[in-house]
Amino acid sequence: MISHGAEKWLGEVQKVLNDGEIELVDYQGTEEQMVGIARISHGKIFPHTDPPAAQKLINYFMENHHTSPFEFCDLTWRWRLPIFVARQVVRHRTASINEKSARYAELDANLYIPEPDRVLGQDTKNRQGSSGALPEDVQNAFVLELIALEERSKSLYHAHLERGIAKELARVSLPVGVYTDWVWKMDLHNLFHFLGLRLDPHAQYEVRVYAEAMYRVLKDAYPMCCWAFEEYKLFARTFSRSEVSMLRFVTPDLHNPGYGEDHPTAKRIISKLALPE
């Protein structure tokens, strides 16, 4: 099945970071087909051609964790990315990955070098993030040192290869900021889960840019799914049991005319707050 929104991105290389790339290589599944598959209860697959009805169904699946329809869309991407980013991404175990082997192939050993204004300080509240500006000279010095490191580590690596040292061993000296290449496939359900984590402002900037590039493609290829994803996942908020208890007390206005049980959104909030434990 052809998704016109996906087709136009095939082979379009998006540049990210100083030497990164991401490109849609292939895909399976369209929103029409997904809705048809979800309606297998009728015994046949009838692709759904009525957009408002399709959007309503997709919303229902997304809100109610009916994840299987989304699993029938798959996307395959080529990435060029720094090793430390690859190390974060590979933790998502539902991907299929074929990566360039540094045992078999010589790496070009290009290094990730941030833009000076992306060189941030340690976040003092969120102990695993970065935040706040650093003095410009600190930023510039960091960049210059990485540029020097790239040259040094390339020449060390090549010297070792020239002396006959096995590639699998020579690469030990390369920085984790060096770029690698891989092909990476994930179904749309797991991709939304991935994006929910990696589009988050707390995700490391260097992985977030890849997530943003993928999301640009998804918005063309699966626009109804993206709408539902934003509504029910990305921009939804979860409140804990204690927070729900307090929300019950501070929202009497929901019952006022104007909101009230007649307003569908108010009605849904009221009913969620009233759910028994």
> At closest approach, how far in Å is the CB of 236 from a second copy?
5
Backbone angles phi, psi at 109, to 5 degrees: 65, 25
Least Cβ distance, residue 95 to a second copy (angstroms): 8
At closest approach, how far in Å is the CB of 141 from a second copy?
8
Binders of a second copy in range 143-182 (CB under 8 A): 145-146, 149, 153, 156, 160-161, 163-169, 171-178, 181-182
Q: 177 — phi, psi (to 5°)?
A: -85, 0
What is the DSSP secondary structure assignment for residue 123, as one 8-state letter? P
Query: Which active-site residues does the annotation give?
Result: 198
Exposed / middle / buried, residue 110 (Cβ in 10 Å: 0-12, 13-18, 19+): middle
Closer CB to a second copy, residue 50 or residue 172?
172
Instruction: Say whether residue 115 binds a second copy (CB under 8 A).
Output: no
Among 18, 204, 212, 220, binds a second copy (CB under 8 A): 204
Closest approach of a second copy to the CB of residue 143, in Å:
11
CB of 77 or CB of 213, closer to a second copy: 77
- Dist CA 258 CA 273 (whole Å): 19
- Identify the CA nearest to 88 among candidates 174, 204, 233, 217: 204
- The smaller minimum CB distance to a second copy, of residues 51 and 94, is found at 94
Residue list 116-145, contact with a second copy (CB under 8 A): 119-123, 127-131, 134, 138, 141-142, 145
> Which residue from 15, 56, 158, 268 is in contact with a second copy, where contact means CB under 8 A?
268
Q: How big is the site for a second copy, counted in residues (CB under 8 A)?
A: 122
The answer to whether 125 and 132 have CB atoms below 8 angstroms apart is no
CA 68 vs CA 40, 64, 91, 134: distances in Å: 12, 11, 22, 46
Q: Residues 14-43 vs a second copy: string with x where CB under 8 A?
A: -----------xxxxx---x---xx-xxxx
DSSP structural state of residue 86? H
What residues numbered 207-236 form the site for a second copy, per CB under 8 A?
230-232, 234-236
Identify the residue among 154, 212, 216, 273 touching a second copy (CB under 8 A): 273
Q: Can you say whether the dihedral through the CA atoms of 229, 232, 237, 240 is positive or negative? A: negative
How many whole angstroms separate alpha carbon 77 and alpha carbon 197? Answer: 18
Pick the closer one to a second copy by CB: 49 or 122: 122
Q: For residue 210, how many C-alpha atoms fall within 13 Å in the half-sphere facing its CB?
A: 26
Q: What b-and-e string marks burial along 55-68, b requiring 16 or more CB atoms within 10 Å of the CB?
A: bebbbebbeeeeee
**Rg of the chain on CA atoms, in Å:** 24
Residue number with CB closer to a second copy (212 or 230) = 230
Site for a second copy in 40-99 (CB under 8 A): 40-45, 63, 65, 68-69, 71-72, 74, 76, 78, 80, 82-84, 86-87, 90-91, 93-94, 96-99
